[in-house]
Amino acid sequence: MADYDTIDFFTDPAIVNDTPAYLAHLRARCPVLREPHHGAFMVTGYDAAMEVLGTKSAGFSSAVAVTGPLPPLPFTPDGDIRAALAEHRGEMPWTDHLAAMDPPEHGANRALLTQLLTHSRLKANEDYVRGLVVRLVDGVIARKGCEITRDFAHALSTLVIADLLGVPEEDRAGLIEELGAPPTQMGDAAHKAQSDPLAHLAPRFRAYLEARLAEPRGDMMSDLVHATYRDGSRPGLATVTRLACFLFGAGQDTSARLLAFAFRVLGDNRAVQAKLRADLSRIPDFIEEVLRLENPVKCLSRLALEQTAIAGVAIPAGAILTVNVGGANRDPAHFPEPDRFDFDRPNVRDHISFSRGTHACLGAPLARMEVRVALEQFLARTRDIRICEAEHGPPGARRYAYEPTYLLQGLEALHVEWDPA
Ligand code: HEM
């Protein structure tokens, strides 16, 4: 076991298989605790997280939402940092993406996307998702097992967001390759956090958008390139290109991670699987409890604009707070017996895995729908889903490897087996 008092959460890959225990250790000391390596305030309590994301959010910037505390601030904080941040924002990595924007720019750009991710578009997309899931399940079902992240989950989530946006079929495989590994990898983390993998996608998306500017095709990119801000002005091609790239990046891997975790719960908890099979209408509650215990986004960082206090702990202006989603989601003061999987919890939807407040995930309804449709199909077409013991060891001594990033949480691989129905 790693030494939780000295380990570096942001750079040491040894922590990734141990995150819940590490966060519980921090929370037991204090729900808002300054870690020694980067000076970030680690938020691990539920109420403290809600203060940062909700009631006190006006005192924080999202400029560091993706990168966290690794890249140094390009200025020295001295009292209220609003003016310094405005002056230096352009020097900070990732700040031109939606997740790292602040008001009023954030609200205006978010509104562009909310008008596109409509209920009717998602409803229409559900038919495509169902057809796709059937095809993907057809491809693996007779094999009586597969590596779920590679053979099913990644393909599903990538094709779904590509279809929604309108990425041509023949380009989809190439785009996945171009996107490469997620940012915030550990090891050479400080360097990687500064690079923007979405930048590689920009020329392609710009070309798609230009083509739709000349000739709309009824897809989301066509609507995006013709969208206007609330005041009637146009966002410009560079802005909509970044939004399209961000949607593609945000939409493709997080849902895949969630789906893999759902399979792991089914395989590791036979009583839960039996209960779900007995009533498939409970799949939405099951998904919420998977989200609570296995959050695909690990942490959300914020920059204090002014001196403040969270859970009674003094926070200086310019400090970075890292809200640990898994810490809040397993806070025993909010979720009794927090490590137990129980989709009957009365507060099963209280988790913060899609964040809260003004930056709350725009793709949550899509992610929930994808995973629900996939589970409906898989459960209907199998009799029993099991974890492959040859790969992951027997119950009680399983071996699972997590991806070495501090921002995202996902299994490197998950081998499952089943009996076709
Ligand atoms: C299980 C799947 C997903 C999880 C766990 C997840 C999680 C999150 C979280 C935690 C945030 C907020 C970050 C913050 O507060 O700093 C976020 C933002 C966002 N997500 Fe998701 N997401 C998922 C799927 C998706 C999908 C499928 C899409 C695309 C359709 C998407 C699009 C976005 C966008 C556009 C934002 C930025 C919102 C803003 O800053 O206003 N997400 N997501």
Q: Ligand 1 atom closest to Cα of 164?
A: 30
Q: Ligand 1 atom closest to Cα of 100?
A: 40
Q: Is 90 exposed, middle or buried (0-12, 13-18, 19+ CB in 10 A)?
A: exposed
Contact by Cβ (8 Å): 299, 321: no
Pocket test for ligand 1, best of 361, 406, 409, 411 (most atoms within 8 A of CB): 361
Residue 287 Cβ inside 6 Å of ligand 1? The answer reads: no
Residue 300 Cβ inside 6 Å of ligand 1? The answer reads: yes
Span from the CA of 208 to the centroid of ligand 1 (angstroms): 23
57-to-231, 316, 338 alpha-carbon distances in Å: 25, 15, 26
pLDDT at res. 184: 55
pTM over 0.85: yes
Residue 110 Cβ inside 6 Å of ligand 1? The answer reads: yes
What distance in Å separates the CA atoms of residue 45 and residue 52, rounded to the nearest whole number? 11
Q: Ligand 1 atom closest to Cα of 356?
A: 15
Residue minimizing CA distance to atom 42 of ligand 1:
363
pLDDT at res. 179: 63
What distance in Å separates the CA atoms of residue 92 and residue 111, rounded to the nearest whole number? 24
Residue 382 Cβ inside 6 Å of ligand 1? The answer reads: no
Span from the CA of 364 to the centroid of ligand 1 (angstroms): 7
pLDDT per 10-residue tile (average), the chain, 421 residues: 89 92 97 96 98 97 95 95 97 93 97 90 90 94 95 91 90 72 56 63 93 93 94 94 92 90 98 97 98 97 98 98 98 98 98 98 96 97 97 97 92 96 90
Span from the CA of 388 to the centroid of ligand 1 (angstroms): 31
Residue 99 Cβ inside 6 Å of ligand 1? The answer reads: yes
What distance in Å separates the CA atoms of residue 412 and residue 256, rounded to the nearest whole number? 11
Give the domains, in start order, of the chain with CATH numbers: 13-32+57-420 (1.10.630.10)
13-23 burial, b at 16+ Cβ within 10 Å, e below that, comes to: eebbeebbebb
Span from the CA of 339 to the centroid of ligand 1 (angstroms): 24
Span from the CA of 390 to the centroid of ligand 1 (angstroms): 35
Cβ contacts of residue 349 below 8 Å, gap of 6+?
288
